[in-house]
């Protein structure tokens, strides 16, 4: 989720350019009728609906929909890329007036955008970026990115790396016998952005460059645990580990694998993203390898996405190109005061 400066498409007298501008903002002169009777029908397509963050996001969306009198349907896509298109077609056939989506694989972007444009249905993404023109949003021109509500991945990763560096400075560990462990789904651009930013920020703030192991996962605890175990087998001589990933699941799985290999909390620094799993490690009040986590509130993202879609449908407001929701670093000393939703 790299923050980009976006330009609005300049007005033009040509009909073709006007149509393009309408399409890019999710507007359509022949879109679904928003003046009819009954509540607005909006569909929220959501990947990994059983993951803690996305559970919270759906809850926030449902609460806002109830407040606004909106008929919201939330569909759990799991990790099925093709189901995103199937469920989008179903929603359009059922006369959904707007689509909100966080897709399992951003490569579905061009097909999803084409489908919603043809139907004249506004599309808003949450969390992960998707592009109208390319499967990889990182290759996208600014005006091809679908409007999005979420977090800035580079900023998030930098905060994780800086906190890890602070924890590292307190330990007195030697660079020679310390390694970093980066765990993430390499198919998801925002995960790459987070991890790369964490590596860079750690090096700057710690004043050293650690050797590192990379583990590619499905962003789940068990997959991270299993794959990390394989990586540890090829990393002899390491006494201490600094761990980060795309989310709490990655870091939690890595910590569990390290625990299985005999590395206790005194020899592991983990910094999560989410805090919904990290907080469970802090409940007993004992030393934890998960030293801190970046709190990202899915409830805020879900609620804001519904509000923006309703504003678009009822008041014909353009969907903002990108809306960044703030994140906060929490640890055992302050997570309860921050109202983390522990899962």
Q: Where are the domains of the chain?
A: 35-151+298-328, 153-295
273-303 pLDDT, tens digit per residue, is 999 999 999 988 889 999 999 999 999 999 9
Asked if residues 120 and 92 have their Cβ atoms less than 8 Å apart, the reply is no
pLDDT at 138: 86
Q: What is the pLDDT of residues 39-80, one digit of tens each?
A: 899 999 999 999 889 999 999 999 999 999 999 999 999 999
What band does 11 get if pLDDT is binned at 50, 70 and 90? very low
Q: In whole numbers, what is the pLDDT of the chain averaged over residues?
A: 89
Cβ-Cβ contacts under 8 Å for 119 (sequence gap 6 or more):
31, 92
Q: Residue 25 pLDDT more than 60? A: no
pLDDT band at 33 (very low <50, low <70, confident <90, very high): very low
| pLDDT score for 342 | 82
What class has domain 153-295? alpha beta
Q: Tens digit of pLDDT for each residue in 82-128?
A: 999 999 999 999 999 999 999 999 999 999 999 999 999 999 999 99
Same topology between domain 35-151+298-328 and domain 153-295: yes
Tens-place pLDDT, residues 326-336 = 999 999 999 99
pTM: 0.81
Give the mean model confidence (pLDDT) for residues 178-202.
Answer: 95
% of the chain exceeding 90 in pLDDT: 81
Q: Assign domain 35-151+298-328 to a CATH class.
A: alpha beta
pLDDT of residue 37: 56
């Amino acid at each position: 989720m790299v923050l980009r400066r976006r330009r609005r498409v300049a007005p033009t007298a040509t009909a073709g350019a006007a149509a393009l501008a309408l399409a890019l903002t999710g507007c359509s002169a022949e879109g679904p009728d928003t003046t009819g009777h009954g509540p607005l029908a909006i569909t929220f397509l959501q990947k990994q609906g059983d993951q803690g963050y996305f559970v919270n996001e759906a809850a926030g969306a449902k609460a806002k929909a109830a407040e606004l009198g909106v008929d919201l349907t939330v569909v759990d896509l799991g990790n099925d890329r093709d189901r995103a298109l199937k469920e989008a077609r179903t929603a359009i056939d059922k006369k959904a007036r707007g689509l909100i989506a966080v897709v399992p694989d951003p490569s579905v972007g061009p097909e999803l955008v084409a489908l919603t444009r043809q139907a004249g249905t506004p599309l808003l993404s949450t969390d992960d970026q998707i592009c109208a023109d390319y499967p990889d949003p990182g290759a996208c021109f600014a005006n091809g990115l679908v409007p999005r509500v979420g977090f800035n991945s580079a900023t998030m990763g930098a905060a994780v790396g800086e906190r890890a560096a602070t924890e590292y400075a307190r330990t007195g560990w030697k660079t020679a016998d310390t390694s970093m462990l980066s765990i993430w789904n390499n198919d998801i651009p925002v995960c790459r952005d987070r991890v790369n930013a964490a590596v860079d920020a750690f090096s700057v703030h710690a004043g050293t460059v650690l050797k590192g192991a990379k583990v590619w996962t499905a962003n789940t605890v068990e997959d991270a645990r299993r794959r990390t175990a394989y990586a540890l087998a090829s990393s002899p001589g390491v006494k201490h580990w600094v761990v980060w990933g795309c989310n709490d699941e990655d870091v939690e799985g890595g910590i569990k694998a390290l625990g299985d290999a005999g590395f206790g909390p005194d020899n592991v620094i983990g910094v999560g993203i989410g805090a919904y799993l990290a907080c469970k490690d802090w409940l007993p009040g004992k030393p934890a390898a998960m030293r801190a986590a970046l709190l990202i509130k899915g409830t805020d993202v879900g609620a804001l996405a519904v509000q923006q879609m309703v504003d678009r449908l009822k008041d014909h407001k353009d969907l903002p190109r990108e809306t960044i929701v703030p994140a906060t670093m929490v640890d055992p000393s302050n997570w309860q005061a921050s109202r983390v939703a522990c899962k």
